Amino acid sequence: MSFDKKFYPGHSTSLGTTTFKDRAIRKGVHESHFKLVEDLYLSSLGMGTYLGNLSSTDNENLESSLYKSVKEGCINVIDTALNYRSMLSEKSIGRAVDRLMKEGIVQRNELFICTKNGYFTNDGDYNHVDIESYLKVMYIDRNIVDYGDISPSYNIMNPDYIANCIDRSLCNMGLESIDLVYIHNSFESWYDQVEKETYNEMLSKVFKVYEEYRKRGKIRYYGMATWNCFTAQPRNPNYLSLRDVVKIANEVGGTDNGFKFIQLPYNSLMTEAFTYRNQKVEESSEDVSILEAANRLGIHVFTSIPLFQGKLLILKINDRFLSNLPYESLRLLQFVRSTPGIVAPLVGQKSSDHTNQNILISRYPTLTHSEFEDVLNRFESVRKNQFR
């Protein structure tokens, strides 16, 4: 085992991301590919790292894809989670970033690196140890968590466990600071296990951990990665109000708190985040979509499953504003990244073909508002015809 691993200091900055953007534009990337968020220029396509096997081949493919996407100026947003591929995705990111740094292709302050914690995972480098044994040896026997802290889906919001997760992610990726850390599907994992008031107390304790790590310079921002809690019907038990979460963050960290981002699913089939009005910003105000509520509350939105893991490629969209894009996948990505209120979709890619295809999207301008509305209407029509 090597003990000379390098840990890169710093985080994304205005200067660093501007440098990345300007260099990318000189390489042919369209200026509209970058969006200004918290004074950072972030690519309107981010790299996801969810799927894959626990194999050296998948490690190498992920690292190569990330390396090339960053080098070509397509991506400076990198998304992962501690449990993705049993920590191997984080470790692959660490190796790719190390290579990019050592070759002088980018500096640490040009990249916006995000991870998630909350789900329990074992370590893919020791996959001969089953998850129950790993849990007992690493956490139960060391009194970090007890069995009552674990939801049926293996989600844990115990503050000691959350702190341990952040430390592990920093080590896995070889970083001294992470730009964004999400609590991972926490409400979906706990809403039917505890009362809402109890969940809010659990979330408040998690946010306190995040705020402490912010003070120590270990994380810059934090947020919530979710599935359907922000797009559910308000009368459903799995509904969560973004306004209520912002209130908890304000109580924990003051108005200058680090809760600035959420992540949720959105694609041409699942458009609820844009079309469904279910959130209130003020008690007396009318309901608005989660994207509109986030905008008004100063929260930024990344989205997952833009291709629904390839299932949406059968849609075959023929729209005049998408016809210049050579692949169906790019048409689907163009719709998502052009949606008002979305920073970037996060797309998984490991094969060289997919990487090369996705790099192309950065060369095209995003849709204007009127063009987006035209495409949205076309998607609505296609859905009614193909999924009725």
Q: Are 328 and 316 in contact (CB under 8 A)?
A: yes
Does some domain include residue 160? Answer: yes
Structural domain of residue 378, as residue ranges? 14-386
Does some domain include residue 3? Answer: no
Q: Count of CB atoms within 10 A of residue 226's CB?
A: 25
CATH number at residue 285: 3.20.20.100
Question: Per-residue b/e over 159-174, b at no fewer than 16 CB within 10 Å?
Answer: bbbbbbbbebbbebbb
Return the beta strands (E) in the chain as ranges: 34-37, 40-43, 46-48, 77-79, 112-117, 178-184, 219-225, 259-265, 300-304, 342-348
- Asked which of 92-106, 236-250, 289-303, 369-383 is least confident by mean pLDDT, the reply is 369-383
Percentage above 70 pLDDT, the chain: 97
- Say which DSSP state 265 is in: E
Does some domain include residue 296? Answer: yes
Note the pLDDT of residue 284. 80
Does some domain include residue 57? Answer: yes
Note the pLDDT of residue 387. 54
Does some domain include residue 163? Answer: yes
CA angle 101, 55, 130 (to 5 degrees): 115
Q: Could you report the per-residue pLDDT of 334-367, keeping only the tens digit for each?
A: 999 999 999 999 999 999 999 999 999 999 999 9
Does some domain include residue 333? Answer: yes
Note the pLDDT of residue 2. 46
Q: Write down the pTM of the prediction.
A: 0.96
Q: Are 326 and 287 in contact (CB under 8 A)?
A: no
Does some domain include residue 201? Answer: yes
Mean pLDDT of the residues in the chain: 95
Q: How many domains are contained in the chain?
A: 1
Distance CA 219, CA 179 (A): 6
Using the predicted structure, report yes or no on whether residue 1 has a pLDDT greater than 50: no
Q: Could you report the per-residue pLDDT of 100-132, keeping only the tens digit for each?
A: 999 999 999 999 999 999 999 999 999 889 899
Note the pLDDT of residue 309. 79
- Say which DSSP state 78 is in: E
Beta bridge partners of 79: 114
